Amino acid sequence: MAEPSNNWPKRSPIETGALGRCPQCGEGHIFRGFLTIRDHCEVCGLDYSFADPADGPAVFVQLFACVPGVIFIVMLEILARPPLWVHIAVGIPVLILTTVLPLRPIKGWLVAAQYVTKAQEAGTGDLWAKLHGDGGGERRD
């Protein structure tokens, strides 16, 4: 697979990742399915093995995206006291919109941000250099 190259223009993680585009070329795709990351970019060949957003997307959704949805549903009950069917008809779509739909753009943004910032686990600089043939222990552009 192709390694990161300086021949590509730098792109914002929001510009590429949130749209599910390759952080290097901006044309290929990050995802194979809804949340499954591809092995590499089909356009530029960038190896996505660096990508490890872990639980980041779920944390962002839980902390920020779903809070307005839950507040809406609670306020609906407090202010209107609707029947159960209204909660089901309104609440389920609101929860899906505020929990499931943001996962993909947030995960893409985190993957792209890892690429742009050259994120790596603390203390793995020497391992990175060994695996990628760099002379020093720091990642380079």
- Domain spans of the chain? 13-127
Kindly report the pTM of this predicted structure. 0.77
pLDDT tens, per residue, the chain with 141 residues: 445 556 888 899 999 999 999 999 999 999 999 999 999 999 999 999 888 898 999 999 988 878 888 899 999 999 999 999 999 999 999 989 999 999 999 999 999 999 998 887 777 777 667 766 665 444 444
CB count, 10 Å around CB of 3? 10
CA 120/CA 96 separation, integer angstroms: 32
Q: CB-hemisphere CA count at 13 Å for 38?
A: 19
Task: Give Rg (Cα) of the chain.
Answer: 20
Q: Give the integer Cα–Cα distance in Å for 9 and 23.
A: 10
Q: Which of 15, 18, 93 is nearest to 53 (CA)?
A: 18
